Each structure stands twice: as C-alpha cells, then as structure tokens.
Structure 1
Amino acid sequence: MFSRTALSRGTQLAARGQASSKLAQRRGYAAAASAPSSFIYDTTDVAGVKVATRDSHGPTTKLAIVAKAGTRYQPAPGLTAALEEFAFKNTEKRSALRITRESELLGGQLTAYHTREALVLEASFLREDIPYFTELLAEVISQTKYTTYEFNEDVERVLQIKQARLAANVAALALDSAHSVAFHTGLGAPLYPSPSTPLKGYVDEHKVASFAESVYAKSNIALVGDGATTTALSKWTEQFFKSVPASAASVNSASTTYYGGESRTAHKGGNSLVIAFPGSSFGTFKPEVAVLSALLGGQSNVKWAPGFTLLSKIAAANPGAVASATNLAYSDAGLFTIQISGAAGAVRATSQEAVKALKAIAEGTVSKEDLTKAVAKAKFDALAGSESGINTLLAAGSGLVHTGKPFQIAETITSIEGVTADKLKAAAKALVDGKASVAAVGDLHALPYAEELGLKV
C-alpha cells in the first residue's frame, strides 16, 4: 500500500516530466516558428496605390495610410505637425463631429502621428467594418477642409502646447540635437518646431493645404492593413481611392549625408546626453547593429536584477542615471544612439563607462554566452514588436513608400541569426573609429565633451 507521501512524490515527478516534455515541445515550436507566415506582408498595386496586408485571422483590423510627409520633407518648420492635427477634422462630406460619432458607434479608434519620414493616419476597428474605414481614410487625404477657424482655434493652439512640452523635455531636446549635428537638414529637422521657432510666417492653413496637396497622392502613399485579407482590402481600395490624385509635386528627397559633430545646450530642467553614430537603415538592414543594440540594452528582462545588458549594469553601478541603446532606422540612413539621462554627475560617469564598454566590444571581448543572449534578445524584440503591432504598419508602409518593399520580419530574423562575434566586433569598431554625434542638454559644467569621452566628432 502506497503512502500519501509516495503518491505525492510520484505525482510531482510525473508533473515535472510532463513539464519538461512540454518545454521541449515549446522550444521545438519556437525554433520552427521563428518567422511565421502570418507575419509576412503581401503586396500589390491597386489602381496606383501601393498596398501591403497580412492577415492574422483575428476579430480586429488595423488600417493605416503611411505618407511620405515626415519632417524630413516639410518645406517649413511645423507643416508636418500641423497636417497631422488636421487629420479627421472636417471634410467635404463629413464634419469632424460626425466622423467621431460614427467611429465611436462602430467601436473604432482613430489616430494620427508622424516621424521624421512619415505621416501616419491609422484606424483600428472590428474586422467587418473595413469598408467604412477604408472610405474614411481616402476621404481624409483627398477631401479635408483646411479651414481658418480650425487652424486658429485648434491646430495652432495644439502646436504651441507641444512646443512648450518639448521645451521642458531634455531627453527629446537632446535626441533632436543629435539628429541635427548628425544630418543637418532633412533627417536633422526636429519632430516638432523648436520652442524658439515662431510659427507665424511658417505655418498657416493655406501653407498646410499646399503641403497636403503635395504629399497626399497615390505615388506618395502606401495603404497597410494588419488583420485583413488582400482580396478585401484591394476591393475597397479600388472603390474608394478613385478621388485621390495619382501624383503631385515631388517632395524634397535629397539623399542623406552623415556629418557628425557636437551640440551643447544649457537647461535647468534636467540632464540628458546622446552619443550617436551612423546606424542601420531599413533600406539596408545591418543585423549586427541590432545585436549590438541588444547587447548594450539598458533595461533588464529580469525583475530585481540588472540583467546581462552592459548599459543596465553600468547604470546600476551609477545610481541616478538611466541609459539605453537603440537604432533609429530611416529609409537611407540610421542613427545608432546611446541616451543617458539623470543627475549630471551620474550621467557623466555612465557615459564614460558606456564608451569604454563600446570600445571593449570593438576589441572583441564579448563572451560567447553574452553574444548568444544578445542575438536571442534582438530576435525577441523584433518578433514581439511585429506580433503586437508596435510600429509594424509604419515600418511596412515606410519601406513600401521609400524602397518599394515592405519591412519583412522573416528576413530580419534570418539575418540576425547569422551575426557572429567577428561581425559584431567589426560593427563596433567601425563606430568608435568613425565620427560621433554628441548632444548634451542640461548642466554643461558637469556634462562631458565628446573629447573627454575619447570620441571623434
């Protein structure tokens, strides 16, 4: 006769065996599904409109117009931001109130945002309502009324609020400054007009309407769907995008040049330092830069521990500062950044150690274990972002508009898996041997110069 203890132990062993079996199965499934087909965009041309779609067979759909209308292409400061604020306001057919009420009755969500290269108009809704929202997006880009009263009462007011918010955000100011010294014009333009830039003379309803006319054309946009079939999206695109102009005046598309340099801005609201180098573009993806970003990291994946990333360890040893590394990808350029914010003394110490860590990677000191972790983290970050929909519509649309090819996560994962220690070492060496872009905002007495960090600008 078996005792309760023996039975309990037997049950525990059986449970552990089942758990081990399930874990092995999961590992096998993960390896097989590293680039699932549901992540791949199908592309087509529908009546002159570039269309990309993927279907996860879920109950909801996201649909976005990605226009080549980011701050890189604006002829004057503030036009992209103002055009974003005019989205989903009065059109020739519907008032802004009607658009809001109809979207709410259907349970939909509308949003607009911009980057340095793109202006995105996005709708999220129940799958069966794709006809309504396809029609609405086409209407917004072809029939919006750029009225004087809406500009004076709403658009200009919101721009001034965002200018004031930017003036108090030292991290955003530092990142804008890093772009400015890295690229000068084009990608060097700030995301929002500088707090010291007057809107009068640069932005009004007539200039916004003229800018809209130059960027809202079939040749300059992509329509991206997530959670829709190619057949359905093509059907409604063909029907509702007839009124969108086929082409318009070409936007400024001068190729990007990287310069490097240094910028220092005194500020009483905090401290932020950005150390940047030429990075990876989505036109020419460099997987070793993605792995380098994952290795430097800045945030732990394990609670109550700094984790394996180099910047998280450095920040843990210098209380009062937070640090992170990321690659900002654009169509023909990229900016690999290390951003550090916090108390001035801690920012100084952390930046010194961060540069030492980068130089150590360039000397080939990364262990095999850390390289394996970094590759796995880079893959996870890419897949998790694509699975959750974070920036996926933007990436797919930007790729389609600028290069004729959407960002495909499957290709990214395959290239990341091919990163070796030698490739990582070469990538880091190219950065530290080249010209950096360094931007400091805050207490300039304490924040270091690029030369003090051992960087060339």
Structure 2
Amino acid sequence: MDVKVTTLKNGLRVISDPMPSLETAAVGVWVDTGARHESAAENGISHVLEHMAFKGTKNRSALEIAEAIEAVGGHLNAYTSRDQTAYFARVLKDDVPLAVDLLGDILQNSTFDEAELKREKEVIVQEIGQTQDTPDDIIFDHLQETAYPEQPLGRSILGTSAQVRGFDREMIAHYMKSRYLAPKMVLSGSGAIDHAALVELAEKAFGDFASAGATDMESAIYKGGEYREERDLEQIHYALSVPGASYSDDDFYTAQILAGLLGGGMSSRLFQELRERRGLCYSVFCFSSSFADTGVFTVYAGTGEEQISELSNVLGDELLRSTEDILEVEIERAKAQHKASLLMGLESPASRSEAHARQLLIYGNVLSSAEIVEKIDAVTVEGTKRFARALFSGINPTVAALGPLKNLDSFDHIAARFN
C-alpha cells in the first residue's frame, strides 16, 4: 500500500492512495464534524449545510456546479453522519484538478443564497417526512434517541421540520466558519492519483481554510430505556441495543465479529433460528456501531403481531447463549466474511478514499489492510464470549418498536433477561 500523507501549513491533511491500473479517481473531503457537534438549537444544521454547499458559490451557480462535473462524466455527492460530513467526487484521471477545484469552491465560497435556502429547506422537510413514513428507517432514530436521551449523539441527523425551517443564512455560514477547520479536514484521493499533484491542488483549493475555531464535542452517556409507538402497520419493527465498543476500544473488531456471528448473513444464528427454523420474520440482522467515545450493539427484526412475543424472547435467548456457547467454526466464518468485505472494498477507489480519510480523522494514522486483517485474525472464541458477557449481562437495554404492539412483552420483562 503506497499511501502518502502530507499536512498543509494550516493543518489540513492530504492523503493519496494510487491504484496505477485505473483510469479513474475518487477524491473527497471528510470533515470531522457532524450531527453530534450541534447544540440543541442547531440540530439538523450540519445536514442543511451539506445540502446548501451545492447550491451556488461566488464563482458558480448551482446549475454550473452540476454542469461542470457532469460535462466530464463525473459525479459529485455528499453525506452527513453523526461524527463526520463528507463531500466527494468520482472522475476520470485527467479531471482530478476539476474535482478538487469544485470541492474547494463549494466548501469555501458558498453564498447560501436566501432563495436557494428557502427551497432547499422545503426539500429537506420532505426528506424528513419520507423518513418518518419509513418505519424500518425511523426505528433507528428512535433507538438512538432512547439510548442517548437529550444528548447530541441521540438527536436525529436530519433535525425536525420546525428547526430546519428556522435556520437562516447567517446561522449556516457561522456554523461552517466555526466548524470547518483545516486540522479537522482530510482531502483523500484514491485511484489514478499523483500525491505531489494532489498536494499542490489542495494548497490552491484549501490553503486559506482557518486552523482554529470551535472544536468541542459533548461526551455521550448511554442511558437505555424504551420507545413504543402504535402504528397501523402490517409488521412490527423491533430493535434492541446495548452499549458497545468505541473506535478506540480494544474490542472494536471483536464487536464486528460477534455481530457477524449473530446476525451478519444467512448462516448467522439469528437468521437461522428466527427465520429458517421458526419462521418468525423475513428480515433480521445485527450490527455494531462505533463512535469516538462510545458504541452501540444493535439487533433488528421485522415480524408479525402474533409472533412478536416469541421473537423477542427467542432473540434474547440467542444473545444470552452467545455468552457461553460459541464455536470456533462460527468465529472463523464471521472472520472470513469480515475480511472478504474489507478486501473487496479495496477494489473500489471510492471505498479506499473514504476508509483512509475516516481512519486519519479517527486514529490519526492509516492502517494497512494487513494490519486490519491481523486484528481480525486475533479475535478468539474466549475473547468473543467474554465480550458477549460484557454486552448482555447487567445492563439496561434500549428497545424501540413500531407497529401493532399489544402482544409485545413489557420493557421490564425484556430488560430482566439482561440482569
């Protein structure tokens, strides 16, 4: 892996990962700020800012931005998470300078035109409405809010319709100026990339970014509890979380392997027991979400009104069984799945550029694929059982459920299994 990192004078880091056989490149900017960096009054502003970055700059209109990238067959996109915001492009190798110039333009010169802002806020309100109408999507917002109540980490990334409509140009511009700081940003390129050329482009496009401003982040405190909402649905959407592993936790990879073992595929325990043997659900899966200072381990299933009680009890049985009964063959299968996913991702320049940027922001350095594979291979049966016991013993779980819930056991009954 010929990855190179250069830090500009203002603190912005440039990382390149050349893939000589490719004719295309992925290049993007990852900013170490997201929904959890917002105050209660700002909730949703990171996402609004992400949208507005494409709505016109001092140099280009919104249409000109779209035309510039599409005229060369490329595409430009962005996303907001709780920890980070990303802006990225995929282009042919000769168009990397254009991509970097566009990224620099939208992140330094956005005008936040009032007419554009008014329209885009209504677009985001529609996005919020669509999410509210998608139960297997909104269930995770409710779960997160219940796990971390009245905290930035527990709030929706999208915010509320009322808050979004209340943001004005000055609020968004101030938030961007105070949070989009060079030391908190990484320009990452993979594919047909030359490091020296990328650094030169970065200095021109991002050299004027400020190096000091607001960098505080409220620490997260897991609480747990229950969210129930009766809805006239054909299915109950049921999710359960417990405190998990942060990015820096020694058990970060153990958490990933346990999630795969329990609910990572058709051979996983939950899929086999809940769907294949008992026919209690169509969809069931498990995942581990990590943040800078905390993490959550989550199971989701969609089931019928008559099946929910049995499903929640069998699910609890399977989670508790993992504290004592894990086979070597299961661990090896989960590790093989995780390594295959990692190595397949390395074939995509977009996946590589994102992975390297996130690692640089989270850890301050980039792990090679060999180092990650070594950490995955180090996960053991005993270590996984020990971690499962830490997850599922003596804790207050978080439960969220949407749908016809009259047959769902009480929260006290569900929680008692883990105490």
Equivalent-residue separation in structure 2 for 1:173 and 1:408 (angstroms): 35
Equivalent-residue separation in structure 2 for 1:71 and 1:239 (angstroms): 29
Q: Does 1:232 pair with 2:197?
A: yes
- Among 410, 430, 441, the residue aligned to 2:370: 410
Query: Deviation of residue 125 (structure 1)?
Result: 0.4
Aligned to 2:127: 162
Equivalent-residue separation in structure 2 for 1:111 and 1:193 (angstroms): 20
Equivalent-residue separation in structure 2 for 1:253 and 1:435 (angstroms): 25
Aligned to 2:5: 43
- After superposition, the C-alpha distances for 1:308-329 in whole angstroms (9 at most, x for unaligned) are 2112112222244411011112
Aligned to 1:422: 382
Aligned to 1:211: 175
The AA in structure 1 aligned to 2:207 is: K
CA contact (8 A) 2:32 2:85 kept: yes
Equivalent-residue separation in structure 2 for 1:347 and 1:234 (angstroms): 56
Q: Does 1:387 pair with 2:347?
A: yes
Query: Deviation of residue 187 (structure 1)?
Result: 1.5
Residue 282 to residue 386, structure 1, CA distance change in 2 (3 Å) = farther
Of stretches 333-342 and 144-153 in structure 1, the one that deviates more from structure 2 is 333-342
Query: Deviation of residue 391 (structure 1)?
Result: 5.3
The AA in structure 2 aligned to 1:235 is: E
Q: Does 1:341 pair with 2:305?
A: no
Aligned to 1:358: 319
Q: Does 1:449 pair with 2:381?
A: no
Aligned to 1:318: 279
Residue 418 to residue 351, structure 1, CA distance change in 2 (3 Å) = same
Query: Deviation of residue 62 (structure 1)?
Result: 0.8
Of stretches 47-56 and 417-426 in structure 1, the one that deviates more from structure 2 is 47-56
Given the two structures, how large is their TM-score scaled by the length of structure 2? 0.90
CA contact (8 A) 2:281 2:301 kept: no
Question: Tell me, what secondary structure is at the counterpart of 2:53?
Answer: coil
Count of aligned pairs between the two proteins? 407
Correspondence list, 1:25-424, <5 A: 37=1, 41-47=3-9, 48-57=11-20, 58-75=22-39, 76-153=42-119, 155-184=120-149, 185-194=151-160, 197-201=162-166, 203-227=167-191, 228-247=193-212, 249-269=213-233, 270-284=235-249, 286-300=252-266, 308-313=267-272, 314-316=274-276, 317-363=278-324, 365-388=325-348, 392-406=352-366, 408-424=368-384
CA contact (8 A) 1:263 1:438 kept: yes
Residue 390 to residue 180, structure 1, CA distance change in 2 (3 Å) = farther
CA contact (8 A) 1:174 1:439 kept: yes
Q: Where does the alignment leave 5 or more consecutive residues of structure 1 unmatched?
A: 1-36, 301-307
Question: Tell me, what secondary structure is at the counterpart of 1:103?
Answer: helix
Aligned to 1:12: none
Question: Tell me, what secondary structure is at the counterpart of 2:322?
Answer: helix
Aligned to 1:29: none
Query: Deviation of residue 72 (structure 1)?
Result: 0.6
Query: Deviation of residue 183 (structure 1)?
Result: 2.2
The AA in structure 1 aligned to 2:90 is: S
CA contact (8 A) 1:331 1:398 kept: no
Equivalent-residue separation in structure 1 for 2:376 and 2:165 (angstroms): 47
The AA in structure 2 aligned to 1:55 is: P
Given the two structures, how large is their TM-score scaled by the length of structure 1? 0.83
Q: Where does the alignment leave 5 or more consecutive residues of structure 2 unmatched?
A: none
CA contact (8 A) 1:323 1:338 kept: yes
- After superposition, the C-alpha distances for 1:31-52 in whole angstroms (9 at most, x for unaligned) are xxxxxx36xx432212321122
CA contact (8 A) 2:264 2:287 kept: no
Equivalent-residue separation in structure 1 for 2:76 and 2:241 (angstroms): 34
CA contact (8 A) 1:318 1:346 kept: no
Query: Deviation of residue 181 (structure 1)?
Result: 2.1
Of stretches 97-106 and 278-287 in structure 1, the one that deviates more from structure 2 is 278-287
Residue 95 to residue 73, structure 1, CA distance change in 2 (3 Å) = same
Residue 348 to residue 166, structure 1, CA distance change in 2 (3 Å) = farther
Query: Deviation of residue 220 (structure 1)?
Result: 2.2
